[in-house]
Amino acid sequence: MHYHQEAAAESWGYYAAAPPAAGVRHGISMGGADPLERVVRLASGSAVVIFSMSTCCMCHAVKRLFCGMGVNPTVYELDQDPRGKEIERALIRLLGNSPPVPVVFIGGKLVGAMDRVMASHINGTLVPLLKEAGALWL
Amino acid sequence: MASQRVGEAGFSNSGPSHHHHHNTMPYAVFRGLNPPSTSFINQEGSAFDFGELEEAIVLQGVKINNDEAKTPLYAATVRPAATLEMFPSWPTRLIQTPRGSSKSGEESTDSGSAVNTLSSRAEARLEPESPISKKSSLEPQGLEQKHLQLPNQQQQLEMANDGSRVEMPQDHQPAGGKPTTEKRRGPGSTSEKVLDAKTLRRLAQNREAARKSRLRKKAYVQQLETSRIRLTQLEQDLQRARAQGFFLGGGGAPGGNISSGAAIFDMEYARWLDDDHRHMSELRTALQAHLSDGDLRVIVDGYIAHYDEIFRLKGVAAKSDVFHLITGMWTTPAERCFLWMGGFRPSELIKMLITQLDPLTEQQVVGIYGLQHSSQQAEEALSQGLEQLQQSLIETIAGGTVNDGMHHMAVALGKLTNLEGFVRQADNLRQQTLHHLLRILTVRQVARCFLVIGEYYGRLRALSSLWASRPRETMIGDENSCQTTTDLQMVQSSQNQFANF
């Protein structure tokens, strides 16, 4: 699991997934961008991205689900991020859930909140998605 | 030990001097009825020689001769708390265990003063005469016997008391004349017919204590009676409710602490169960009638909707009373025992179904095992999330200074709201798992699946009822041996029950 916080110079090099765009090098702290855009950008930055809050227990559950499957998700703790509030609002706009977290992106594509994640796991669609995104190797 | 029991346990009196002092029961001596609370419980088989009792009655006019012998006794016994040791009056009769014989015992007290009639009885029949001892004798006997016994005993006791009261004045008269002179002499007085002030006081205290214990006994008996009546009423209500198809495990105690949301859900769940029976019988007849797949599909879809309905109801209930769901108060005890997050554990259900659903194609088997695996992973994740919630809650409640108390409570309340989310996710998992399973199976298999699930939970509920109504002995001596036999009986009877399924 990789936790991202406001860091001046984060190295994105070790992500095997989609090569980061130039503008992303500065991480979340880059200002002025539309929050939703930022969300999308962050989501594309890793194979599995989870927007979470450190105090949220359901987020803990979703993290454990992925770790239990052997996946290494990238986690953004919104309560530990100065711009976390904006992202929260963006997520609410996107999904309409309350609470807004956890939200999972796989391979840059939105999967959804906990119920969607579990439904897709039961469906058997989650694993192929993970494999496709390169987060899971057989 | 003997000294603890005034009036009944043995003091080593001089043999022939039997006092009719109301505290005295010299016969206890040679029977060794020392254990205080049980000495009047003559089930121990101690038979008093009635002849000696007669003698004592005859000698009732004789006053206490050895006060010295008595003194240590009284000093030990005049303790208000030691009610078991206070006896009201002259013991009327000693009737032994066979309760049926108490009647004949009663007869002899009918004629005049209890005391005088006793002498006419030649049988060795013993009856506990102290109210307290009667109380303690009641307990092992069981409620039924008590009620048979009580009226008799009470009558006899009353008559005994009356008799003693009649006697008492006689005792005091001779003593009344010489209180002052006797005081000086103190306990050293050896006159047989004189009661000194100390002794008088003791007598009075004993009488008081005896009266108090009689009243206490009366109150206790009345309490028992009312409780018994209430118990029978409750049992009747219970049976009536059962006949109406209510599941007691789900409803909670009538009039108990149950929120309105919970009560509403319990009612809806009971109705859902009735519907479930209906669906099941419909499905059974459909399978037996060998309907076409299409027709069967219609019925099966109806059943699926039925299951979706309970998930919806649970979702609504989770909003109003999540504790009711998560603690399983809406289910029967056996179900509650194996509850996971407010309902069944999907992987367990699948495990159970796999064994009941052969024949399955290989593809189906793979699919079902895969489903079981995924479900287990999801269950594990949710369980860990809930554990995290509990940890967080513990830290919030345990931590914090006294000043912060309300703040911490508010935070804790906020955390508790997450419970609803977990129950909802768990129900969501259950629903998804069920739906996916039905997609793997053929229509006919789905029909059988629903029947298996319905019967399984029906049996689990029946198990709860059987368990609740299994025969249990009331507490008598060899309790343990009684229980093992009843357990065996229960197992046998339950096996017979299940043979019918």
The Cα–Cα gap between B220 and B146 comes to 12
Question: Positive or negative CA dihedral for B286, B287, B292, B294?
Answer: positive
Per the listing, tokens 């006791």 go with B157
B421–A64 C-beta distance less than 8 A: no
The number of angstroms, rounded, from the C-alpha of B154 to the middle of its chain's C-alpha atoms is: 26
**How many domains is chain A built from?**
1
Which spans in B59-188 are helix H? Answer: 67-77, 102-110, 114-118, 131-141, 143-176, 179-185
User: Considering only CB atoms, which chain B residues are within 8 Å of A69?
Assistant: 377
Q: Name the residue among A61, A119, A122 with its Cβ closest to that of B381.
A: A61
Residue B174 forms contact with A (CB below 8 Å): no
Residue among B290, B314, B89 at smallest CA distance from B207: B89
The Cα–Cα gap between B291 and B297 comes to 10
User: What is the SS3 assignment for A3?
Assistant: strand
Q: Mean pLDDT of residues grouped by 10 in chain B (501 residues)?
A: 43 44 46 45 47 57 50 46 53 48 43 44 44 45 46 48 46 45 48 74 93 94 91 85 58 59 92 94 91 90 94 94 93 93 94 88 94 96 95 86 78 90 95 94 92 93 91 58 51 48 42
The Cα–Cα gap between B263 and B252 comes to 9
Instruction: Please check whether residue B350 is in contact with residue B371, taking contact to mean a CB–CB distance below 8 angstroms.
Output: yes
Mean pLDDT for the stretch of residues A1-29: 46
The CA-atom distances, in angstroms, between B2 and each of A112, B74, B164, B222, B316 are 82, 11, 23, 32, 69
User: What is the SS3 assignment for A51?
Assistant: strand
A5 lies in a domain?
Answer: no
Q: Looking at residue A58, what is its pLDDT?
A: 95
Best mutation target among B363, B371, B388 (most A Cβ atoms within 10 Å) is B388
A65–B370 C-beta distance less than 8 A: no
The Cα–Cα gap between B62 and B53 comes to 14
Q: Which tokens is A27 given?
A: 């991480």
The Cα–Cα gap between B282 and A60 comes to 44
User: CA of B482, closest CA in chain A: separation in Å?
Assistant: 49
Q: Looking at residue A57, what is its pLDDT?
A: 94
- ipTM for this prediction: 0.81
Q: Name the residue among A60, A68, A119 with its Cβ closest to that of B380.
A: A68
**What amino acid is encoded at B317 in this protein?**
A
What CATH number corresponds to the domain at position A76? 3.40.30.10
Q: In what order do the strands lie in the sheet with A109-112?
A: A2-4, A74-77, A48-52, A103-106, A109-112
User: Considering only CB atoms, which chain A residues are within 8 Å of B418?
Assistant: 56-58
Domains in chain B: boundaries = 201-237, 260-465
Angle between helices B405-416 and B362-398 (to 10 degrees): 170
Best mutation target among A1, A55, A57 (most B Cβ atoms within 10 Å) is A57
Contacts (Cβ under 8 Å, ≥6 apart) of B159: B92, B109, B113, B114
Residue among A108, A93, A98, A94 at smallest CA distance from A40: A108
The Cα–Cα gap between B453 and B438 comes to 13
B392–A61 C-beta distance less than 8 A: no
- What's the CA angle centered on B400, arms B399 and B402, to 5 degrees? 130
Best mutation target among B411, B424, B432 (most A Cβ atoms within 10 Å) is B432
- What's the CA angle centered on B345, arms B365 and A117, to 5 degrees? 80
A61–B374 C-beta distance less than 8 A: no
Q: Which tokens is B384 given?
A: 């860990």
User: CA of B400, closest CA in chain A: separation in Å?
Assistant: 17
Nearest CA in chain B to A63: B381
* Residues within 8 A of A (CB atoms), B 385-444 only: 385-386, 388-389, 392, 418, 421-422, 424-425, 428-429, 432-433, 436
User: Considering only CB atoms, which chain A residues are within 8 Å of B370?
Assistant: 124
Q: Name the residue among B375, B382, B388 with its Cβ closest to that of A122.
A: B375
**What amino acid is encoded at B16 in this protein?**
P
A69 lies in a domain?
Answer: yes
Instruction: Please check whether residue B215 is in contact with residue B161, taking contact to mean a CB–CB distance below 8 angstroms.
Output: no
What DSSP assignment string belongs to B415-445? HHTHHHHHHHHHHHHHHHHHHHHHHHS-HHH
* Residues within 8 A of A (CB atoms), B 356-375 only: 370-371, 374-375
B374–A65 C-beta distance less than 8 A: no
Contacts (Cβ under 8 Å, ≥6 apart) of B65: B14, B17, B19, B190, B192
Q: Which tokens is A59 given?
A: 């987020």
Strand partners, A4: A76
From A8-22, A64-78, B181-195, the region with the lowest mean pLDDT: A8-22
A136 lies in a domain?
Answer: no
Q: Looking at residue B480, what is its pLDDT?
A: 52
Q: Looking at residue A4, what is its pLDDT?
A: 66
Q: Looking at residue B462, what is its pLDDT?
A: 93
DSSP annotation of B292 reads: -
A118–B425 C-beta distance less than 8 A: yes
Q: Looking at residue B104, what is its pLDDT?
A: 44
B384–A60 C-beta distance less than 8 A: yes
Q: Name the residue among A60, A68, A118 with its Cβ closest to that of B428.
A: A118
Q: Name the residue among B421, B429, B436 with its Cβ closest to that of A58.
A: B421
B392–A55 C-beta distance less than 8 A: yes
Instruction: Please check whether residue B190 is in contact with residue B115, taking contact to mean a CB–CB distance below 8 angstroms.
Output: no
pLDDT-derived band at A106 (thresholds 50, 70, 90) equals: very high
Q: Name the residue among A61, A115, A122 with its Cβ closest to that of B385.
A: A61
Nearest CA in chain A to B434: A122
Nearest CA in chain A to B370: A124
The Cα–Cα gap between B7 and B339 comes to 60
- Encode pLDDT of B144-178 as tens digits: 444 444 444 445 444 444 444 444 444 444 444 44
Classify residue A52 as exposed, middle or buried by CB count within 10 Å of its CB (0-12, 13-18, 19+): buried
Instruction: Please check whether residue B380 is in contact with residue A68, taking contact to mean a CB–CB distance below 8 angstroms.
Output: yes
Q: Looking at residue B148, what is its pLDDT?
A: 46
Best mutation target among B349, B377, B395 (most A Cβ atoms within 10 Å) is B377
Instruction: Please check whether residue B317 is in contact with residue B325, taking contact to mean a CB–CB distance below 8 angstroms.
Output: yes
User: What is the SS3 assignment for B162?
Assistant: helix
Instruction: Please check whether residue B29 is in contact with residue B2, taking contact to mean a CB–CB distance below 8 angstroms.
Output: yes
B370–A61 C-beta distance less than 8 A: no
CA dihedral in degrees (B65, B69, B75, B76; nearest 10)? -130
Containing structural domain, residue A71: 33-131
The Cα–Cα gap between B484 and B71 comes to 50
The Cα–Cα gap between B465 and B268 comes to 20
A68: pLDDT strictly greater than 90: yes
* Mean pLDDT of the residues in chain A: 81
Q: Which tokens is B25 given?
A: 């029961």
A119–B428 C-beta distance less than 8 A: yes
Q: Which tokens is B315 given?
A: 């979702």
User: Considering only CB atoms, which chain B residues are within 8 Å of A118?
Assistant: 378, 425, 428-429, 432
Residue among B22, B90, B79, B36 at smallest CA distance from B209: B79
Q: Which residues of B423-445 are buried (b: 16+ CB within 10 A; e: fewer)?
A: bbbbbbbbbbbbebbbebbebbb
